[in-house]
């Protein structure tokens, strides 16, 4: 009388082939997912026209020197209010004073909230003058993060004053 029990496992070439194809299939799928997410989130491009930016570097330095010569002082206060739907209302108060501490009025200010990774999430900041050198800005931000804030103040004579700062949005 012979009793046959379960057959012992025997590793065959078919098992090895399936294991290798499964392993590399998973590795390739994960790599493709990472490539897709990386390309979808950030292009890696920080300047769309780097050649012209490099050529105009001396003009940038001259503009910065002229801005320092003005002796203006800026104070920025930010506040974020999160809505029920998760939207983030960003508020900015900018105070501009000259060398003598007097308020600087009559500026036209263009603002931009720049997302740290995805350019598609950049949002304009609507800025309006309130008098006595105080300007109020508002924007709807789609997500939390360390947002770059760029404000360009244009004087009536056409010259500009650039303000770059960071706003932490949680």
Write down the pTM of the prediction. 0.69
* pLDDT(95) > 90: yes
> Is 46 a domain residue?
no
Q: Is the domain of 94 the same as that of 149?
A: yes
* pLDDT(54) > 90: no
- pLDDT > 70: percent of the chain: 95
Q: Is the domain of 28 the same as that of 90?
A: no
Q: Is the domain of 76 the same as that of 105?
A: yes
Q: Is the domain of 97 the same as that of 23?
A: no
Q: Domains in the chain: how many in total?
A: 2
Q: Is the domain of 74 the same as that of 130?
A: yes
Measure the CA–CA gap between 91 and 58, rounded to whole angstroms.
34
Encoded tokens for 22: 């499964």
Query: What confidence score (pLDDT) does residue 106 get?
Result: 94
The boundaries of the domain holding residue 124 are 60-169
Q: Per-residue pLDDT tens for 7-50?
A: 888 999 999 999 999 999 999 999 999 998 887 776 666 677 88
> Is 51 a domain residue?
no
> Is 104 a domain residue?
yes
Residues near 75 by Cβ (< 8 Å), separated by ≥ 6?
94, 95
Q: Is the domain of 20 the same as that of 89?
A: no
> Is 109 a domain residue?
yes
Q: What is the 3-state secondary structure (H, E, C) of the chain?
A: CCCCCCCCCCCCHHHHHHHHHHHHHHHHHHHHHHHHHHHHHCCCCCCCCHHHHHHCHHHHHHHHHHHHHHCCEEEEEEEEEECCCCCEEEEEEEEEECCCCCECCCCEEEEEEECCCCHHHCEEEEEEEEECCEEEEEEEECCCEEEEEEEEEECCCCCEEEEEEEEEEC
- Asked whether the beta carbons of 141 and 81 are under 8 A apart, the reply is no
> Is 54 a domain residue?
no
Measure the CA–CA gap between 35 and 28, rounded to whole angstroms.
10
Query: Confidence class of residue 82 from pLDDT cuts 50, 70 and 90?
Result: confident
> Is 73 a domain residue?
yes
Q: Is the domain of 112 the same as that of 155?
A: yes
Query: What confidence score (pLDDT) does residue 39 get?
Result: 76
Q: Is the domain of 126 the same as that of 160?
A: yes
């Amino acid at each position: 009388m012979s009793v046959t029990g379960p057959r012992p496992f025997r590793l065959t070439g078919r098992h090895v082939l399936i294991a290798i194809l499964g392993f590399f299939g998973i590795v390739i799928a994960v790599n493709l997912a990472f490539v897709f997410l990386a390309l979808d989130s950030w292009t890696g491009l920080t300047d769309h026209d780097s050649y012209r930016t490099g050529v105009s570097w001396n003009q940038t330095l001259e503009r910065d020197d002229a801005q320092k010569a003005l002796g203006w002082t800026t104070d920025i206060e930010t506040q974020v209010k999160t809505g029920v739907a998760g939207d983030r209302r960003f508020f900015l108060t900018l105070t501009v004073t000259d060398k003598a501490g007097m308020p600087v009025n009559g500026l036209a200010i263009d603002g931009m909230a720049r997302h740290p990774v995805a350019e598609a999430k950049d949002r304009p900041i609507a800025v309006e003058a309130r008098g006595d050198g105080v300007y109020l800005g508002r924007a709807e931000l789609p997500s939390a993060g360390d947002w770059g804030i760029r404000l360009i103040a244009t004087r009536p004579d056409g010259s500009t004053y650039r303000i770059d700062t960071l706003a932490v949005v949680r």
